[in-house]
A = this chain, B = another copy of it.
Amino acid sequence: MHFTSEQHLDENVLERTFTLGDIPGILWTPASASPSAPVPLILLGHPPLGLGRMYPRLAGRARQAVADGFAAATIELPGSGDRPRWEAVEQARAELRRVLAAGEPVGDEIVDALVLPLVDRAVPEWRSALDALLELPGIRGPVGYSGGVISIGVRLALTEPRIAAAGLFAGSFVPRATFEEARRVTVPLHVLLQWDDEGNDRQASLDLFDAFGSPEKSLSANMGGHTGVPQYAGEDAGRFFTRHLK
């Protein structure tokens, strides 16, 4: 892991970009974090739109996490941003656009082709990033995963024992395989669902919430469209992580 830039977003938040092999990432830490007072880490998930395009929203969520006493980190997804173009996923996206434009239903095959390769490749990368991040002074486990792609969050919650809590954003297509994995997830979950998000399959999100095996799971459904999570809902999610990571 090599840090490539460093700036203070304000007097309390240190933002550092890094590369892990050829994967770019961003780390946000409280200016007060130190080896003697390490803070738990929250991994910030996001859709595969590129870190550059996602930066404003990620930085907002990171500021909230740091204000709540956490470190936050994210990495570029495979095939996104400045990473090499990934032909198979590009084709799946093109097929999805074609189907949506034609008003056809989005079949399981398209969803599988769109999401499953991404999960298979991204999850080991997130785990490698976790290895590197937890070696830094001032950062400790347990670790939370926050956001989308929800199938990545589910796979991480199921397979990465350092993930102690997950705040998942129900806003992406859900392959059948994710439902099967969800049944075996046991960590505490806080699921955000934007109720009036037209691009989201609300019923699939509710079915997925129902499927989770976690004894503690909460669904917070709010208005405001895909990107309009109300501030109070974000604060509730922050309290969820505080309950489980501190």
Contact = CB atoms under 8 A, between A and B. Distances in A.
Interface stretch (A57-65, A136-144, A220-228): A220-228
Contacts of A209: 195, 221
Interface string A233-246: 10010011001000
A219 B195 contact: yes
Interface stretch (A2-10, A38-46, A71-79, A210-218): A210-218
Interface in A181-221: 195, 206, 209-210, 215-221
Contacts of A233: 218
Contact of A222 (B210, B218, B222, B243): B218
Contacts of A219: 195, 219-222
Contact of A223 (B195, B216, B230): B216
A239 B206 CA distance: 25
Contacts of A236: 236, 239
Contacts of A243: 232
Contacts of A220: 218-220
A223 B217 contact: yes
Nearest to A220: B220
A230 B209 CA distance: 17
A219 B243 CA distance: 20
A215 B221 contact: no
Interface string A113-150: 00000000000000000000000000000000000000
A43 B233 CA distance: 24
Contacts of A217: 195, 222-223
A206 B206 CA distance: 10
Which residue, A210, A216, A223, A240, has most C-beta atoms of chain B within 10 A? A223
Contacts of A215: 223
A210 B216 CA distance: 24
A137 to B, nearest CB: 32
A210 B232 contact: no
8 contacts: A195-B217, A206-B206, A216-B230, A217-B222, A218-B222, A221-B221, A232-B239, A236-B239
Interface of A: 195, 206, 209-210, 215-223, 230, 232-233, 236, 239-240, 243
Top 6 nearest A-B pairs by Cβ distance? A219-B221, A218-B222, A236-B236, A220-B220, A217-B223, A216-B223
